[in-house]
């Protein structure tokens, strides 16, 4: 029945149906990020522009946090790239579906590769190349609208919230919330503990380098344990 729906329903209807399944979690994440942007004084316009340009919650959160700490531009970019390094694996996994697409699509469409679009599109393997191209465009666009709107709501709601000092720790809480479900094996635990300790130590001396240093140390430690 699902395969039949995938072949007969318009691409925008398929995409809308799929986005609706992840909308609650995505909206909550976006609003929390918006509140974080507001609490850190990052600015409304940069926050909203970042929603479309970065198109990734964890990377944007990393960038916002580092900019607030006064990190250099190169450090911000490197840290966001490390956080988003998992997208390399997603891209490799989806190469088959992009291989027979027009050149313009192969260059522009990968911008929409994130956790949600990867998982949702993998659930529809029966789409032919042309249908997938339309579906992917709608999927990326609808998630962008939802994501940007959620961040905007959080930014607007931020100033209306009481003056609570712990609002600046919302970003840290978000990182911990994203990390906890991934601690399912020994390498992941070792990577998380090592990365956290190294980030904390480096952060005492150079706060803007804590995230990137911890990320590198965590990857090395996790890889060593896995081998």
Using the 8-state DSSP alphabet, how is residue 102 labeled? -
Higher pLDDT, 209 or 119: 119
pLDDT number for residue 12: 82
Comparing 44-48, 53-57, 155-159, 171-175, the range with the smallest average pLDDT is 171-175
Mean pLDDT over each residue of the chain, to the nearest integer: 79
The Cβ of residue 101 has, within 10 Å, a number of other Cβ atoms equal to 16
**C-alpha count within 13 angstroms, C-beta hemisphere, residue 191:** 19
How much is the average pLDDT of 194-222? Answer: 72
- CB within 8 Å of 32: residues ≥ 6 apart: 154, 170, 174
pLDDT tens readout for residues 165-191: 555 555 555 555 555 556 667 777 777
3-state SS of 160-173 is HCCCCHHHHHHHHH
Which of 156, 197, 139 is closest to 17 using CA atoms? 139
Q: Please, what sign has the CA dihedral across residues 67, 73, 74, 77?
A: positive
Q: Are 171 and 69 in contact (CB under 8 A)?
A: no
Residue-wise pLDDT for 119-130, tens only, equals 899 888 888 889
Alpha-carbon distance of 189 to 97, in angstroms, equals 33
Q: How many CB atoms lie within 10 A of CB 161?
A: 12
Across 3-17, 101-115, 162-176, least confident range? 162-176
pLDDT band at residue 24 under the 50/70/90 scheme? confident
Q: What is the largest CA-CA distance in the chain?
A: 59
3 confidence band (pLDDT: 50, 70, 90): very low
pTM above 0.85, yes or no: no
């Amino acid at each position: 029945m699902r395969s039949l729906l995938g072949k007969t329903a318009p691409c925008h209807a398929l995409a809308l149906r799929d986005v609706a399944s992840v909308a609650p979690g995505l909206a909550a994440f976006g609003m929390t990020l918006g509140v974080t942007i507001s609490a850190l004084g990052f600015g409304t316009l940069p926050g909203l522009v970042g929603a479309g340009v970065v198109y990734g919650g964890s990377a944007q959160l990393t960038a916002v946090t580092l900019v607030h700490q006064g990190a250099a531009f190169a450090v911000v970019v490197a840290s966001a790239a490390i956080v988003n390094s998992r997208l390399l694996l997603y891209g490799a996994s989806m190469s088959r579906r992009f291989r027979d697409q027009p050149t313009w699509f192969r260059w522009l469409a990968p911008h929409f590769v994130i956790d949600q679009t990867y998982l949702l599109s993998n659930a529809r393997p029966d789409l032919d190349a042309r249908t997938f191209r339309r579906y992917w465009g709608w999927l990326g666009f609808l998630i962008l609208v939802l994501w940007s709107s959620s961040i905007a709501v959080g930014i607007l709601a931020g100033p209306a919230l009481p003056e609570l000092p712990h609002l600046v720790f919302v970003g840290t809480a978000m990182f911990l919330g994203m990390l906890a479900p991934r601690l399912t094996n020994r390498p992941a635990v070792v990577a998380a503990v090592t990365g956290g300790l190294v980030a904390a130590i480096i952060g005492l001396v150079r706060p803007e380098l804590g995230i990137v240093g911890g990320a590198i140390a965590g990857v090395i430690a996790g890889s060593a344990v896995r081998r």
